[in-house]
Amino acid sequence: MVILNDLIVLNTRYLFNNLAQARRITEEWLTIYNTERPHEALNNMTPIEYKTLKQAA
Split into its structural domains, the chain has a count of 1
So what's the pLDDT on residue 13? Answer: 59
So what's the pLDDT on residue 6? Answer: 60
For the CA atoms of 19, 30, 3, 47, the dihedral, rounded to the nearest 10 degrees, stands at 180
SS3 content of the chain, % helix, strand, coil (to 5): 70, 5, 25
DSSP-derived letter for residue 40 is G
Is the pLDDT reported for residue 18 higher than 90? Answer: no
Domain residues for 46? 4-56
So what's the pLDDT on residue 43? Answer: 94
Is the pLDDT reported for residue 17 higher than 60? Answer: yes
What is the per-residue pLDDT across 31-56, written as a single tens digit (0 to 9) for each?
988 888 899 999 999 998 999 999 99
Which is more confidently placed, 29 or 4?
A: 29
